Amino acid sequence: MAADIDVTLQGGRTTHVLFVDTIRELSSRLSDYGQRVLWVFDVNSARLFTSLPENNVILPSGEKFKSWSSIEKILSAALDAHLGRDSLFIGFGGGVVCDMTAFAASVFMRGCGLVLVPTTLLCMVDASIGGKSAIDFHGGKNLVGTFYPARDVLISPSCLRTLPESEYMSGLGEVIKHAFLSSAHDLYDFLVDNRKDVLSRDRQALSTMLSLSLQVKASYIERDPEERKGIRQALNLGHTFAHALESIEDFRVKHGTAVAWGLSRAMHCGQDAGVTDSALVEAADSLLTMYGYDIARRIERGRWLDFQSAVAKDKKNISGRVRFVLLEDWGRPVLKDLPAQLVQRNVIAPATVR
Ligand SMILES: NC(=O)c1ccc[n+]([C@@H]2O[C@H](COP(=O)([O-])OP(=O)(O)OC[C@H]3O[C@@H](n4cnc5c(N)ncnc54)[C@H](O)[C@@H]3O)[C@@H](O)[C@H]2O)c1
């Protein structure tokens, strides 16, 4: 198993990331937290338990339920179970469950204990670490939330066995993004050398990959816990393109899969803008292709205005400007404005000559 990792966040609060081998070992570690616990699942993550613990809430699955009404269900269940400020909420599921459990824990009795057990790859390498909690509000994604890091995050690669392939590939898109945000090439080399084991979800390979990926995320969030210095924003590499693609495709493309495409587009735009050298662009394209992502995908010409307006709405806009994350080198991100024509020629399908 990978070595545990400590991540220090806002106000010096530390999240302990603990790796556990089997689901049985995970259950036994979780039972150590005692009785004053509320468990939050969704219908799919609850299936990982043969007999569910007492004091639980099982929510429907999906982003559409990342809402106030789910938070009310969690808080009501906590009151019904007579939990208090010294109690603990355990979020057991993907990013939707973990973001909501963290939000509910941050407001219950002005803040109670929080432990997260991510059960999707995306949540293991991204959503569970870094202290951001949120719900969607009035159609806006993650519009209401708090910074509230978990005390512990327990990761068991065994939980990924039941994850649908499309969700697994979505999480892998974020892992590949992390490979380029690291100045060491260790995650990149690992992904190149262990493709078969990574794709077959070999437990040992997963554990090494998760650890390397988390170390990259931790290095950015520790330097900028509340996303105020522009350092943490680097983790949005590929995201401006990804959000616009998700938006014009009505969210039929999974987030991490869109990030994989966005990473490739950010590399090519970076090259076009004279920021990214061709060797780095080739390294990204070859890794993404090796893992089966469709980097040749382009937006139809007639959708350019929709794509452009989705880019403009991206929440990373600062004072009306869209700032793209580009890479000057491995692990050297920069935030840049890009001319619309440059973005257009890198995302839109070339005109067909009749
Ligand atoms: N807080 C952050 O920093 C942060 C970062 C990235 C993403 N997010 C949020 O994370 C959410 C996306 O997370 P996600 O991709 O995990 O989506 P998700 O939570 O919707 O999970 C995806 C699907 O997998 C199912 N599932 C979960 N674990 C399973 C398992 N082990 N076996 C089988 N099915 C399982 C879920 O029920 C769901 O249907 C978004 O709401 C996003 O905003 C938050």
pLDDT of residue 63: 95
Question: What is the SS3 assignment for 301?
Answer: helix
- CA–centroid distance, 247 to ligand 1, in Å, is 18
Q: How far apart are CA 57 and CA 77, in angstroms?
A: 7
**What residue numbers bound the domain in which 28 lies?**
5-163
Of 197, 217, 343, the residue nearest 270 (C-alpha): 343
pLDDT of residue 318: 59
Q: Which mutation among 167, 177, 206, 213 tests ligand 1's pocket best, with the greatest number of atoms within 8 A of CB?
A: 167
Cβ atoms of 19 and 213 closer than 8 Å: no
Name the residue with the closest Cα to ligand 1, atom 19. Answer: 94
252/336 same-domain check: yes
Asked if residue 209 has pLDDT above 80, the reply is: yes
Question: What is the SS3 assignment for 15?
Answer: strand
Over pLDDT 70: what percentage of the chain? 97
- CA–centroid distance, 120 to ligand 1, in Å, is 6
pLDDT of residue 319: 60
255/319 same-domain check: yes
Ramachandran category for residue 93: left, alpha or beta (phi over 0 → left; psi -120 to 50 → alpha):
left
Number of domains in the chain: 2
Indicate the pTM of the whole model: 0.96
Asked if residue 295 has pLDDT above 60, the reply is: yes
127/255 same-domain check: no
- CA–centroid distance, 294 to ligand 1, in Å, is 22
pLDDT tens-digit series, residues 297-313: 999 999 999 999 999 88
Domain CATH code at residue 237: 1.20.1090.10
Q: List all residues whose CB is within 6 A of at least one atom of ligand 1.
A: 42, 44-45, 48, 61-63, 66, 93-97, 99, 119-120, 122-123, 126-127, 130, 132, 142, 159, 162-163, 167, 170
pLDDT tens-digit series, residues 258-270: 999 999 999 999 9
- pLDDT-wise least confident of 34-38, 99-103, 178-182: 34-38
100: tokens are: 């909501």
Pairing of β 324-329 and β 332-336: antiparallel
Domain CATH code at residue 13: 3.40.50.1970
What is the CB neighbour count within 10 angstroms for residue 22?
12
